[in-house]
Chains A and B, each alone.
Chain A
């Protein structure tokens, strides 16, 4: 099973500032990568995923993540955050031949005006 490390547990950020959430996973030949977001008092929902193809993937609300195989990373970025981006963000990884997702510990993003 994969091991997933989210390097920051808390990220405070001001509105309209950029944010980067870091995610590293244990090495594997082939992986699928996901970012999920959990808004307060809600379940998780998929933000974006990488299965194959372009290493840069984007979400509809301005987030993007880049798969870096050599560094076994899948960092999430947004150039300008809104108050509504306040949430907990989870990186998840699966081997490409396994249904099981391994989740990181989560990063709480708090956006302040």
Chain B
């Protein structure tokens, strides 16, 4: 079974803090994704990585950065957390380099609250 794990299920941070969300997949997948999930908005893509050290902006990259130093790990960084970044963050991975049409496998999510 593909397993995508996220470092925390719940996280509470203060405005201005630097926040790291970690994601690890154990199936040697090429592609990894970070989404945020908000009620009534569904999932929105923040960043995508198709290889180690490679990244592409998604639909809402402002205020976020990412790091992929190893194939199995993809980190989402909030340089200076703000209250409007309170959300559920979901990590996903998929197998092929092209990624087109492939199933994405999701982690359980990290619910981040910024006070």
Contact = CB atoms under 8 A, between A and B. Distances in A.
A56 interface: no
A105 B98 contact: no
Interface string B1-22: 0001000000000000000000
Nearest to B111: A41
A46 B103 contact: yes
Nearest to A32: B101
A6 B41 CA distance: 11
A41 B50 CA distance: 28
A43 B42 contact: no
16 contacts: A4-B42, A32-B101, A41-B108, A43-B108, A44-B90, A44-B106, A94-B101, A96-B101, A98-B100, A99-B48, A99-B50, A99-B100, A100-B58, A103-B43, A103-B44, A105-B41
Interface string A1-36: 100101001000000000000000000000010101
Q: What are the 6 tightest A-B residue pairs by CB atom distance, in nearest-first order? A: A43-B106, A99-B99, A103-B42, A103-B43, A44-B106, A105-B42
A110 B15 CA distance: 36
A51 B103 CA distance: 11
Nearest to B94: A99
Contacts of B50: 99
Contacts, number: 59
Interface residues of A, number: 28
Contacts of B100: 32, 94, 96-99
Interface of B: 4, 31, 40-45, 48, 50, 58-59, 90, 92, 94, 98-101, 103-109
A55 interface: no
Contacts of B106: 36, 43-45
Given A96-B100, A99-B98, A99-B99, A43 B107 contact: yes
Most buried by A among B42, B59, B99, B109: B42
Given A32-B100, A43-B4, A43-B106, A104 B42 contact: yes
